[in-house]
Amino acid sequence: MEEYYQRQLDCLCGQVRPLSEEAKEASVCHWDGIAKPLNGLGRFERILTQIAGIQRTENLSLDRKAVVVFCADNGVVEEGVSQTDSSVTAIVTENFARGIASVNRMASTVGAEVLPVDIGVAGELHEPGIRNMKVDFGTKNFCREMAMTREQALEAIHNGIALAGELKDAGYDILAVGEMGIGNTTTSSAIASVLLDVDPEAVTGKGAGLSDEGLTRKIDAIRRGIALHHPAADDPIGVLASLGGFDIAGMTGLMLGGAISRIPVVLDGIISEVAGLLAMAICPQTVSYLIPSHLGKEPACAQIYERLHLEPVIHGNLALGEGTGAVMLFPLLDMAWEVYKENSTFEDIHVKAYEKL
């Protein structure tokens, strides 16, 4: 099965095409004709042009939005790397389906749907409205053994790819990616350390809240995990299987699926950024389908954005996860889109257009 999954992945990645240069050029011309200073909306103009390139039309749409929240547990929590225990993952996952978690509150203000996905929560979930893509009941503790098998890593990636395709077919225009999983800042920092080739201390923070001693324990657990598995940075599936979480794998798949199905995917905090690094290692062209949102509080965030050559537009020191930072970008994009669609042009107001000097 592992070989089959890998072949399928290679084949799907071969389908990823560059963005439409024609649609991007038309979008830039459209921006330049709008009655305002040239590039007046700065990076927001460039993001909308990127979306035009992804959707392959100057007449881009941001009408239907969803945030896909991948939920999973992490065996490494037994090492005392988080202030809470794994039971919280299931509780918050069910709260997404009930519409009462932070991301639900934020998404409701912009009409974005919240789609919780159980890709590896340790317990059985009963609340209707949670998409069941469970690969296993949590990962293993990476300080003792591989977090998951390579086959499981690939299965979780394929689940994310399939979901992106399904959502594109269902008519969504843009996706945000989020996660919930106690311990996932440990798995993310471990993967970041390997893929960025930096010491764990440089990419590890306090996550959802840890004491200084807790942080030392977390860095030590990451060092032990890396020393046990020696994952190679040029083997992204091996890195994911050794140290990862099912949430990271699902997010990686959603990003690859976004590139395959041509739907933009907005990044959130450290966990999604690590998934972005993995997606880039699997299929480099995926990055052009990713939209940066905010620069998070975890120390890995800035380093990963640099590696991805992406620049976040919100600097809010966020550390919440669930896709909240990605959803925060939506109203800003809506405002820029309103100007793009509706504003008068220089021609309409009989004013000579600005020239690019």
Ligand X SMILES: Cc1cc2nc[nH]c2cc1C
Ligand Y SMILES: O=C(O)c1ccc[n+]([C@@H]2O[C@H](COP(=O)([O-])O)[C@@H](O)[C@H]2O)c1
Please give the positions annotated as active site. Answer: 322
Rounded least distance, CB 183 to ligand Y, Å: 5
Question: How many whole angstroms separate alpha carbon 22 and alpha carbon 52?
Answer: 9
Verify binding: residue 173, ligand Y, rule CB under 6 A.
Answer: no
Asked if 116 touches ligand Y (CB under 6 A), the answer is no
Nearer to ligand Y, 95 or 184 (CB): 184
Beta bridge partners of 66: 113, 175
CA atoms of 302 and 308, how far apart (whole Å): 10
Stretch that binds ligand Y, among 137-145, 146-154, 238-246, 314-322 (CB under 6 A): 314-322
Binding-site member from 152, 186, 252, 293 for ligand Y (CB under 6 A): 186
CB contact at 8 A, 313 and 44:
yes
Judged by CB under 6 A, does residue 247 bind ligand X?
no
- Coil, helix or strand for 301? helix
The reply on whether position 9 binds ligand Y by CB under 6 A is no
Tell me whether residue 241 or residue 295 sits nearer to ligand X (CB atom): 295
Query: What x-and-dash track marks residues 201-240 binding ligand Y by CB under 6 A?
Result: ------xx--------------------------------
Residue 189 or 261 with smaller CB distance to ligand Y: 189
Q: Indicate the residue among 53 and 138 with the shorter CB distance to ligand Y.
A: 138
Of residues 242-281, which lie at the interface with ligand Y (CB under 6 A)? 268-271
Buried b (16+ CB within 10 A) or exposed e, 293-321: bbbbbbbbbebbbebbebebbbeeebbbb
Q: Is 118 in the site for ligand Y (CB under 6 A)?
A: no
Does residue 178 interact with ligand X by CB under 6 A? no
CB-nearer residue toward ligand Y: 173 or 322: 322
Q: What is the DSSP annotation of 96-134?
A: HHHT-SHHHHHHHTTT-EEEEEEEE-SS----TT-EE--
Give the span between the Cα atoms of 104 and 98, in whole angstroms.
Answer: 9
Among 53, 238, 312, 321, binds ligand X (CB under 6 A): 321
Could you tell me the two tokens for 142?
């990476």
Interatomic CA distance for residues 130 and 68, integer angstroms: 11
Please report where in the chains the tokens 């998404």 appear, as a residue: 107
Name which position in 208, 233, 332, 339 contacts ligand X (CB under 6 A).
208
Question: Footprint of ligand Y on this chain (CB under 6 A)?
Answer: 82, 179-186, 207-208, 268-271, 296, 298, 319-322
